[in-house]
Amino acid sequence: MTQHLPQARSIVQQLGASQIREVANAGMGLDNVLPFWFGEPDEVTPQFIRDAAKEGLDAGDTFYTHNYGIPALRATIATYLSKLHQPIGPERIAVTSAGVSALMLIAQTILNPGDRVVAVTPIWPNLVEIPKILGAEVTKVPLQFGQTWELDLQQLLDALTPGTKAVFINSPNNPTGWVMPREQQQAVLDHCRRHGIWILADDVYERLVYGENCAPSFLDLSVPEDLLISANSFSKAWLMTGWRLGWIVAPQSIMADLGKLIEYNTSCAPGFIQRAGITAIERGDEIVQHTLARYQTARDYLYQRLNTMPGITTPNPKGAMYLFFRVDGQTDTLQLCKRLVREAGLGLAPGSAFGPEGEGYVRWCFASSVEKLELGASRLEAFLKQR
């Protein structure tokens, strides 16, 4: 009798496992490790948002909801986005169980096996791996390292050849903090209109931009019929990483098909969590401003501190919540970050987690108090002196 070993699809076996998780798993449970590896704040979700979820539970809001989300939340998101960008109706909005679910749903909606996708990198690894799950091929256009991370626009446009199915752009960017200027967005939008290329805009950090109320967005420039889909999340701006609540803005012509995929993936986001989302948007602008001010102070401190250390060079991020810095002589940042956990009690994310173009760099999430950052910086400095 032939014994068949249970196995996943070959394409799934070939996916890269999260190196950020690999480092975190090595440090979780250790008392003296300072965790800066994940992209989440050290503050809990504000009480008034938690209370809204409790009230939903107490009211018995534990049943299935509409695939697209409860009408009140869709309307609230539409009003919020219309103030930030330009008028967007609730009929173009779908609520999702997390921003990462939004990204997967978008990819499932528009990608076929063999399609060619272009991604501006370094980028959160999920955005590169999701197309591969669906059998698409990914071409990378790397950002340029300097005083700030910058995009060679012509290099991106040259990569967006006729027949390309989609371009994935995350701005403000994880891990680099790069923010795509409006004039570059307009050039990409014009180019994609000419060639029929979808734009997937990962806008999860759009409120975390320094010196502005909101980052430049393709939603500012587009018309409803454009091949543009925006993914967003409650995780970052409202301190709600564990709630797993996000949304999609898409052309109305694909909403029916998107609804099918939501049904076959998660059916709907939990109702009581959606109630908390309404409260977060309606009452949470103070939280957004508090978070942004806190992160700017943290960014400024850590940027200056790291640049005093020999062998480290870090650009100053314009947005998001990370410093992505170069460590001279490092060609295996996964092992470096594991050593930092073991020997220095410091949890950082290896640059290689964001693709080969991230090797030699390390990501530090600075969504933390200056006191914790100072302690972490001292540990890093002591470690580097002992190398």
- Region of poorest pLDDT, from 19-33, 97-111, 117-131: 19-33
pLDDT of res. 1:
59
pLDDT of res. 115:
98
Over 80: is that where the pLDDT of 155 sits?
yes
pLDDT of res. 28:
84
Cα separation, 327 vs 336, whole angstroms: 10
Over 90: is that where the pLDDT of 200 sits?
yes
% of the chain beyond a pLDDT of 90: 90
Over 80: is that where the pLDDT of 3 sits?
no
Rounded mean pLDDT of the chain? 95
pLDDT of res. 148:
87
pLDDT of res. 29:
80
Over 70: is that where the pLDDT of 2 sits?
no
- Residues ≥6 apart with Cβ < 8 Å to 213: 84, 207
In which order are the strands placed within the sheet that holds 137-142? 93-96, 246-249, 228-233, 198-202, 166-170, 116-121, 137-142
* Strands 198-202 and 228-233, sheet pairing: parallel
pTM of the model: 0.94
pLDDT of res. 16:
81
pLDDT of res. 101:
96
Cα separation, 134 vs 82, whole angstroms: 33
Mean pLDDT of 205-230: 97
pLDDT of res. 31:
83
Helices (H), 59-181: 71-84, 99-110, 125-133, 153-159
